[in-house]
Amino acid sequence: MGRTIIILVILLAVVIAAIVIAVQNKTIEFPELLDKFLHSNLPAYALSYGIKQIACENVTGDSTQILNLEVPAVGGRIDTLTYTYNAANDTVSILASISWLEDGERKTPAHASETRIVISTTNYQFGNYALTTAGPIDFKGHSTANPYRENFTFSFEDIFGITPLEAKNYAITDGNYYEGSPITDPGHGTYTVDSFTWMEGNYHPTSWNISSGILIVNGDLKSSAHPIFSGVIYIIGEFFPTAHTNITGAVFVDTSSQTETDLSSWATLTYVQNVVDSLSGGPENLNINVIYWRE
């Protein structure tokens, strides 16, 4: 009986030892497997990082970025990104050189990772109307809008291809940005309204005010006393054109479907294709499509 117990104890000890050794081996293997997994994702991360540089317009032509950017989340480093632009077909090639540390030695893959992308720009969708409103329109006192559409469903993104916040930020950094309540702009203007302008608050151009470009008003727009505007106006609020307001181009009034837009006192809105086509200076809406990928 005693011998049997001794044998069972020895067998149990052998089994426990085997389990401990197996667990230790797995513990050793796990970091190695994790490293392999991370390294396999490093090329994709590097190429995606390069695409983001183009989308953010940090890169605009043939160049090489020497980064030496450590990325612990994917277990390695982005050494360089090389960009080659082909204007003939609007493509950009990105070569990513990466490396990682293994047993204290820096390793590199057999070849550089590469992707090719096609860049295109979405044009603004201004339509063919002098006036577009979400609600009804009431014409008074010899006012006109030629042509117009009322009770029409649209959004800021439909027209510009970007969000209002993106447009506002662009105006702050690269255009004209003003805020107030209200913003009154008499004569030739205290405010520069050209290219791309964002008005944060109710806006009132008056007294022969002359301006142009793309104007976005986050508030109500009242115009009076012979103001002249050439371009596109987008109003996130109500619109009150009166007293010989003269607008050439396109106006969008983004209000509730129950809010009426009233034109009065010889207000004249006229759609002119050449005026709309000549607009520039706003933020570009870039589309990027991947046509080749090798890791």
Question: Tokens 């990513």 correspond to what residue?
Answer: 96
Band of the pLDDT at 285, cuts 50, 70, 90? low
Contact 38, 75 (CB under 8 A): yes
At 30 the pLDDT is: 39
Token digits for 261? 């837009």
Query: Residue 138's CB: how many other CB atoms inside 10 A?
Result: 12
**pLDDT tens digits, 258-269:** 999 999 999 999
Q: How many residues does the chain have?
A: 295
Q: What whole-number distance in Å separates Cα of residue 274 and Cα of residue 271?
A: 9
Token digits for 275? 């005026």
**pLDDT tens digits, 198-211:** 999 999 998 888 88
Cβ partners under 8 Å of residue 111, min gap 6: 294
Band of the pLDDT at 37, cuts 50, 70, 90? very low
Amino acid identity for residue 209 in this structure: N
Band of the pLDDT at 34, cuts 50, 70, 90? very low
**Left if phi > 0, otherwise alpha if psi is -120 to 50, otherwise beta: which for 11?**
alpha
- pLDDT above 50 for 126: yes
- pLDDT above 70 for 242: yes
Flag whether the pTM goes above 0.75.
no
Cβ partners under 8 Å of residue 110, min gap 6: none
Band of the pLDDT at 281, cuts 50, 70, 90? low
